[in-house]
Amino acid sequence: MSFQLQIEATRGAARAGKLVTPHGIVETPVFMPVGTVASVKGISQDLLEELGVEILLSNTYHLFLRPGVETVRQMGGLHRFMSWDRAILTDSGGFQVFSLESRRQVDDNGVTFRSHLDGSEHRFTPESVVEFQETIGSDIAMVLDVCVKLPAQPHELEESVRLTTLWAQRSVATRKAAATALFGIVQGGLDPALRERSACELVALDFPGYAIGGLSVGETRDQMYATARVTASMLPQEKPRYLMGVGTVRDLLEAIDAGLDLFDCVYPTRCGRNGRAMTHDGELNLFNAAFTRDFSPLDRHCDCNTCTTFSRAYLSHLFRSREMLGPRLLSHHNVYLVNALMREARVAIEAREWTNFRTRWRANA
Amino acid sequence: MSFQLQIEATRGAARAGKLVTPHGIVETPVFMPVGTVASVKGISQDLLEELGVEILLSNTYHLFLRPGVETVRQMGGLHRFMSWDRAILTDSGGFQVFSLESRRQVDDNGVTFRSHLDGSEHRFTPESVVEFQETIGSDIAMVLDVCVKLPAQPHELEESVRLTTLWAQRSVATRKAAATALFGIVQGGLDPALRERSACELVALDFPGYAIGGLSVGETRDQMYATARVTASMLPQEKPRYLMGVGTVRDLLEAIDAGLDLFDCVYPTRCGRNGRAMTHDGELNLFNAAFTRDFSPLDRHCDCNTCTTFSRAYLSHLFRSREMLGPRLLSHHNVYLVNALMREARVAIEAREWTNFRTRWRANA
């Protein structure tokens, strides 16, 4: 079987497993670095491999606009275009399109929008985004969904669930490529009843995996944790569960504890570009004056290349001098740290140390 | 002996050799990538090592302003600060200070200038810049010289030669660190008589190496080649000769042929950041529309990682999308190409193939 989650251990809702994909095995829980336009900002493909990254995320919306689906197809698909042999999950573009707000219009058959690049008009339908993702050869494709910013009116959330289910049905009907696993996306805001309706309707379609969408869009952290937890419990045990848009240490710990397996976020790389370090002792801002003469390593508990090779003073100097090596070294470190967190979480779940592990990290996160 | 040039082969004026430094042997002719503020833009230190770079250049002027000589000293010197174990040549700051034009004032004892960063006032003297470079642990330090933009009046050039010699004498008198080799810099514009006067006065001071300054500052290429050639012939055979600020394929070929050994320039990395590729078939602009669907390698004669891994279409996509991976991959390629040119030039000089080699490359450069 080319796509399957093998659960190897559980502690409460938390689980450790192996996701079999056409481009290799992905150990879960896993954080997927974001390569929006077929490149993870600050980290080259060979370094991602060296870091042990087994899956990354790219965005259909961005690739559709540039370089275009047809160019990627002619190159032999996204893996070959960007020289990445491991797994790729592509977002449907739903989230990006709905972020355009005034520049998009939804109807029952899809969404018409204007490009953020040049204002040109385009249309996504449930069918077209599945076809795009199959064409570029994604290992995991996402359905087109309707994502609503929070707080939202009940009728907006209900409408988003109605359309998301309708589009999910059409997505399932149109899929062709056996090598691409299509995930459904549960919507419903913070309302458990709506989340349950959305989850039930999608589970009836028997997707090979499910995502929780519509979170990290304006709610509080506690609201997000509660909704992620209750929604995860509505999804099939044996299938992978993906919480979209989550990437801080604390959010990841809570989401793993809630029974989620896959995560993505620009947070570690965006922080890396802006001088914000994620460390075992909390987050640090490298523009802080104290670091200009701090000759200790960035994170004394980290054994990444950045921490074992360079000092805080040198990193601080690079950021102050706007040298691109700064963003590179810090993005490297942040992704290494989040990756290590995932790897250690797996070990902790398997060793029945999960609760201690989570408590220890949470003390600083 | 900790600093010495061993000449291994010559063809006409061109020579191949080995420069022994406290941080390893540097095979010449050699191109030094520029790490202005202790980082080569677009290429990390570990990649520079992998590329076989044996020496790089950093700028005293920039390091003096940020992070400051004292910070670098406290870090154990420039090598340790930037985690680079191979040789480093530092420019004296003369060129940068004279580029400030309206923001500097020269007298017989030094130059007072305002920082390009914050307008603060500082002063460099022949003694202070030697002390700075010795303090940060440069393998090769440059004297403070007076660099004049071309075209220039005869009296300006004469004054620059007078001061450069005066300062060179004071530099020699003040040097202390045996581990730092101090080079003199020949000035004199395009006037052979002035160049000869400058060269003679400096050779009398018995520097361990000599640079030709005051070129690539407004003259034509042919004027530069002629002046470099005649000036090189005035310098001692057995000592290293460094042509400052040269880095295109054609300039490097001419300079090697004129008997120069060391070169530096921001050209390969600056082009790399701006989408300009140096190739065996001439230079290419990756923003050219033709490349968006060109699935061939950047340079089919190059075996660098960029050329063996990625297509022109992908590189073009990265530059159009302003992804930082584009500048990185292209800076990598350009420096690899210039490095390969130097390595092949050495082999050609040793194999008595230099004239053929030079002619072949010049056909496309």
**End-to-end Cα, chain A, rounded Å:** 39
How many angstroms separate the CA atoms of A297 and A313, rounded?
9
What percent helix, strand, coil does chain B show, rounded to 5?
45, 20, 35
Q: Quick check: B314 and A83 CB within 8 A?
A: yes
Average pLDDT, integer, range B107-120: 95
Beta-strand pair A276-279/A282-285: antiparallel
Q: What is the pLDDT of residue A358?
A: 96
- The alpha-helical segments, DSSP class H, found in B104-248 are 126-136, 154-174, 192-203, 221-232
| Closest approach of A325 to chain B, Cα-based (Å) | 7
Of B124, B185, B194, B206, whose CA–CA distance to B159 is shortest?
B194
Tokens 């049905």 label which residue?
A169
Q: What is the pLDDT of residue B171?
A: 98
Q: What is the pLDDT of residue A363?
A: 86
- pLDDT of B265 above 60: yes
Of B10, B36, B4, B7, whose CA–CA distance to B273 is shortest?
B36
Contact A204, A184 (CB under 8 A): no
| Three-state secondary-structure class, residue B207 | coil
| Three-state secondary-structure class, residue B123 | strand
Phi, psi dihedral angles at B83 (to 5 degrees) = 55, 60
Burial A50-76, CB ≥16 within 10 A → b, else e: ebebbbbbbbbbbbbbbbebebbeebe
How many angstroms separate the CA atoms of B154 and B170, rounded?
25
- pLDDT of B320 above 90: yes
Phi, psi dihedral angles at A294 (to 5 degrees) = -95, 105
Of B158, B52, B65, B47, whose CA–CA distance to B103 is shortest?
B65
- pLDDT of A94 above 90: no
**Degrees to nearest 5, angle at CA A66 with A247 and A74:** 110
Of A193, A205, A190, A200, whose CA–CA distance to A235 is shortest?
A200
Burial B307-319, CB ≥16 within 10 A → b, else e: beebbbbbbbbbb
- Which residue type, as a one-letter code, is found at position B269? T
Q: What is the pLDDT of residue A23?
A: 97
Give the best residue of A310, A317, A318, A319 to mutate against chain B (max B CB count within 10 A). Answer: A317
- pLDDT of B152 above 80: yes
Q: Which of A313, A324, A329 sits opposite B67 (nearest CB)?
A: A313
- pLDDT of A306 above 80: yes
A313 touches chain B (CB under 8 A): yes
A106-113, long-range: CB within 8 Å, 24+ apart, which pairs? A106/A146, A106/A163, A108/A163, A108/A166, A110/A144, A110/A167, A111/A144
- The answer for residues whose C-beta is within 8 angstroms of residue A144's C-beta and 6 or more apart is A92, A93, A94, A110, A111, A124, A125, A126, A129, A130, A167, A171
What does the pLDDT look like over B44-61, one tens digit per residue?
A: 999 999 999 999 999 999
Beta bridge partners of A185: A211
What does the pLDDT look like over A163-205, one tens digit per residue?
A: 999 999 999 999 998 999 999 999 999 999 999 999 999 999 9
Overall size of chain A counted in residues: 365
**pLDDT level of residue B365 (50, 70, 90 thresholds):** confident
| Three-state secondary-structure class, residue B14 | strand
Q: Which of B74, B314, B321 sits opposite A81 (nearest CB)?
A: B314
DSSP for residue B129:
H
- pLDDT of B1 above 60: no
How many angstroms separate the CA atoms of A198 and A231, rounded?
10
Token pair of A108 as six digits: 């029952």
Q: Quick check: B328 and A324 CB within 8 A?
A: yes
Among all residues of chain B, which has the CA nearest to that of A73?
Answer: B293
Token pair of A21 as six digits: 């994909």
**Cα dihedral B166, B169, B174, B180 in deg (nearest 10):** 120
Q: Quick check: A324 and B320 CB within 8 A?
A: no
Residue B112 has a CB neighbour count (10 Å cut-off) of: 16
Order the strands of the B262-264 sheet from edge to edge.
Answer: B30-32, B262-264, B241-243, B209-212, B181-186, B140-142, B87-91, B55-59
Q: Which of A91, A145, A261, A299 is catalytic?
A: A91
Token pair of B187 as six digits: 């000035």
- Which residue type, as a one-letter code, is found at position B177? A
- Which residue type, as a one-letter code, is found at position B324? M
Q: Quick check: B81 and A328 CB within 8 A?
A: no
Residue A38 has a CB neighbour count (10 Å cut-off) of: 29
Beta-strand pair A4-11/A14-21: antiparallel
Q: Quick check: A71 and B328 CB within 8 A?
A: no
- pLDDT of A89 above 90: yes
Of B191, B268, B254, whose CA–CA distance to B33 is shortest?
B268
Average pLDDT, integer, range B251-275: 98
- Which residue type, as a one-letter code, is found at position A20? V
B173 touches chain A (CB under 8 A): no
Token pair of A30 as six digits: 């896993």
**pLDDT level of residue A2 (50, 70, 90 thresholds):** confident
Beta bridge partners of B121: B114
Give the best residue of B40, B310, B321 to mutate against chain A (max A CB count within 10 A). Answer: B321
Q: What is the pLDDT of residue A1?
A: 57
A342-345, long-range: CB within 8 Å, 24+ apart, which pairs? A342/A27, A342/A29, A342/A30, A342/A31, A342/A252, A343/A27, A343/A52, A345/A14, A345/A16, A345/A29, A345/A252, A345/A253, A345/A256
Average pLDDT, integer, range B164-180: 96
How many angstroms separate the CA atoms of B122 and A237, rounded?
68
How many angstroms separate the CA atoms of B38 and B132, rounded?
15
What DSSP letter does each residue of B260-313 carry, written as one string? --EEE-SHHHHHHHTTEEEETTEEEETTSGGGGG--SBS-TT--SHHHHH-BHH
Average pLDDT of every residue of chain A? 97
How many angstroms separate the CA atoms of B37 and A42, rounded?
20
**pLDDT level of residue B251 (50, 70, 90 thresholds):** very high
- The answer for residues whose C-beta is within 8 angstroms of residue A363's C-beta and 6 or more apart is none
B264: annotated active-site residue: yes
